[in-house]
Structure 1
């Protein structure tokens, strides 16, 4: 169970944070002095520390130095009064995770602590080697995924930038973390930023920090991730969605290892390794004027391309059993395995959402199951229909034998025959038309004689998606 250590001499602060964050999934330990805090840290080894700057027997900075001497990657969140924010900023420069100002805004407290626990987890668990947390492992024996593991081993010790390419759900963050854990910077911080999740108005502040008064609402100076992650590793996920203005500053940082905070004039020097990832075609975005070519070339120190799940079908059964074990633990279930026909259904699916979709399907299937073995009827209808279609389609013509499909369904005693057959036929029809129109939803709807919203609903119902960037 993750542990949170709160070091503050105000009992009300310790009590409030314990009430807010302590539950059946997180244990909260409290201390009131520097000495007590250091002792508690040594004995409890918490994932996250909340540390008051002013304590009866010393300062939070003294405790911070002692904690970082024991655990250099430790996420520490400072609590400060208005008059000591300058000290808090200095602590951020030395590697503190963030700071909170009294009186505490507990919505902000919860948000910062959640991110701190995520950061602690990312820095502690390696996803390549066997570990106690199997959720974090890269699973698969297909040659394409083994080649990825070899690339990780080759590039991790080299202090070069890494660009990870792959569709959504293929495991780009796991690869980034594997590179970090096997690098020379593994004893330094690792921070992950999702560029697509941050509003354009905030991303520069998040990455580079800002000075007080730099924009409306900037009532205090803020240290950005690049300054905070000195000598560590920054993971820029979905970098293809980064605004051009922020791209220019990232380019300068990669070239000179310097930047300015938003609203600032001081040139700040940093030393970080950048790992970036995207599911987009950056060359097309460059041609469209949405991504800088010079930044693309800077990021391409080494490129690791992750295969889609449909390109490694031999791994589907292994991944399915892997997640079966995980979800049994997570959901308190005792599912023993798969009916062979259910595995055939999984192997037949195209998996447009890749491993993330497989996880969602398996969790739903396990919750719908009524026995210890996962049967085909427990799977979502789209997967059942698709499996039958592919199993009965002649290899040469690629056309479905509808009569044979119906005979099989009747012989197996299946129910909902009308819906099953219609879904199977529609799936082949929609798949062929989408392929013919290069995934363009409007053109496909026109060819099919359907309106766009109806087609979108039917695609979702049959488990298909229009994957072209022009789909809408």
Structure 2
């Protein structure tokens, strides 16, 4: 068997699409249905593929998954680059893929052209050996959810940082889930067997924070009746999460800098240096660069913390995740309260999609818990939403909730809106009206409505045949499927 790109997926349509795309790209390809077939071909000496592209979950007579295949390949053929595909765009899949040594993680549905580009890049790269770690496939304990591209980048970053001991600075607005990122970094690291200790430096009084962090000796100050181990000692062998690091008093920043520099600290009132075997993950919602310029945050500490920065996007930047997160929170609230899970009606969902969520994911979670208790029916109607959501102008987070005619109205006899000047003028006027009324963040919503209009028109013209609609729009089948999923049109 000559060298080729090997595809393994139980879905015949995926194999067909990738095989045709690779052939058009003048790349040899060989397809398999099961991981065991790939291992048999490798062990029989049928040649080694240029790149192995594997689904993550497949029925196999030997009970092998894509991650099992990845593990075997990394053990016996460590130079072979492996790309993992999955329809389950979750953190555990991404981390397990990267921990297992995958070259890249490709969530379905994907753009075929981008997949080909990724395969070409893998062919040009020699994949080094990595320790294989098989993660559980269950999503029961999953806390970080998101299919938006911005969240997929966060998942990829966590996967790449899994074996690193580097200090990480997580930035993001309040309520966006920075502690969840820190816990995920710990859970998927080599320190997972050690403790995860979190402290909010803004929530502890200035006079007590030093003792909380470093501990104190007996008699070191009034009320110190016994020795106390601080958070650094409590996190020995694990991870210490310093939340809201931007609010740490300047004098304590000096002590923290010393720990990061030489790895030792002293308890309050102590004279014996204690070695700190902890990984530091810090988080802030503030702009530390501005704090440095203001003289309230040490520049040298900033550079020590800012080894690797991971930005967590606010919820308004990933509106495609709102419906999925709402379902998750409604289900979890129902389980906690022992009641039947409620679901969002179309009107309620549209209003939530247009809400800016200044409190981010935490605010959405609180809203869903409120709805589980207060909504009278199983299907949540628009009127059931809490006042803070109903009182905000629906289009504040984008006009997803606006009916399509508000953006692209039907043609009237006096005006032919089918002309280029017609629809462009209507769209421009719509945007102008929204901006003049004080609305913000309108870009993603207007673009989404235009994409919805294009897809609806193409489907209508092709009698709802998706492949033909994609061809007539000049995009790929996977692209239209992904767009319809992102726009909640499925």
TM-score, length of structure 2 as denominator length: 0.54
Structure 2 residue runs of 5 or longer lacking an equivalent are: 1-134, 408-426, 441-490
Q: 5 Å matches for 1:254-265? A: 254-265=260-271
Q: Aligned partners of 2:137 and 2:210: how far apart in 1?
A: 37
Change in CA separation of 1:258 and 1:145 when aligned onto 2, cut-off 3 Å:
same
1:95-114 → structure 2 map (5 Å cutoff): none
Equivalent of residue 368 in structure 2, options 349, 354, 362:
362
- Residue 283 of structure 1, aligned match among 281, 285, 289: 289
The residue aligned with 1:167 is 173
> Secondary structure at 1:222's aligned position in 2?
coil
TM-aligned CA distance change 1:321 to 1:129, over 3 Å: farther
- Preserved CA contact (<8 Å) 1:253 1:259: yes
Give the distance between the partners of 2:428 and 2:181, measured in 1 at CA: 38
**CA drift at 1:342:** 1.0
The answer to whether residue 235 in structure 2 is matched with residue 229 in structure 1 is yes
Judged with a 3 Å threshold, the aligned counterparts in structure 2 of structure 1 residues 301 and 372 are, in CA distance, closer, same or farther, namely same
CA distance in structure 2 between the aligned counterparts of 1:228 and 1:367, rounded to whole angstroms: 38
Deviation at 1:341, TM superposition (A): 1.4
Distance 2:341 2:234 in 1: 45
Asked if structure 2 preserves the Cα contact closer than 8 Å seen for 1:208 and 1:227, the reply is yes
1:241 Cα deviation from its structure 2 partner: 1.1
- Where in structure 1 do 4 or more consecutive aligned residues deviate above 6 Å? none
Q: What are the equivalent positions in structure 2 for 1:100-179 lying under 5 Å apart? A: 131=138, 133-134=140-141, 136-179=142-185
The match for 2:383 is 377
Q: 1:386 to 1:216 in 2, by over 3 A?
A: same
1:396 counterpart residue number: 428
Q: Distance in 2 between matches of 1:129 and 1:141?
A: 20
Counterpart secondary structure, 2:428: coil
- How has the CA–CA distance of structure 1 residues 170 and 192 changed in structure 2, closer, same or farther, with 3 Å as cutoff? same
Cα pair distance change 1:188/1:430, threshold 3 Å: same
CA shift in 2, pair 1:216/1:429, >3 Å: farther
Structure 1: tracts of 5 or more residues without a match: 1-127, 402-424, 433-472
Q: Is contact 1:258-1:267 (8 Å) kept?
A: yes
Q: How many residues align?
A: 280
Q: CA deviation at 1:399?
A: 7.5
Aligned match of 2:256: 250
Which residue of 2 is the match for residue 216 of structure 1? 222
Contact 1:172 1:277 in 2 (8 A): yes
Deviation for aligned residue 1:194: 1.1
Cα distance in 2, alignment partners of residues 204 and 156 from structure 1: 30
Residue 335 of structure 1 contacts residue 371 of structure 1 at CA under 8 Å; is this kept in 2?
Answer: no
Decide whether aligned partners of structure 1 residues 379 and 333 sit closer, same or farther in structure 2, where only a CA change above 3 A counts: same
**Which one is further off, 253-262 or 215-224?**
215-224
Are residues 359 and 214 of structure 1, via their aligned partners in 2, closer, same or farther at CA, if it must alter by over 3 Å?
same
Shift of 1:287: 1.0
Contact 1:131-1:137 within 8 A present in 2 as well: no
Aligned residue in 2 for 1:303: 309
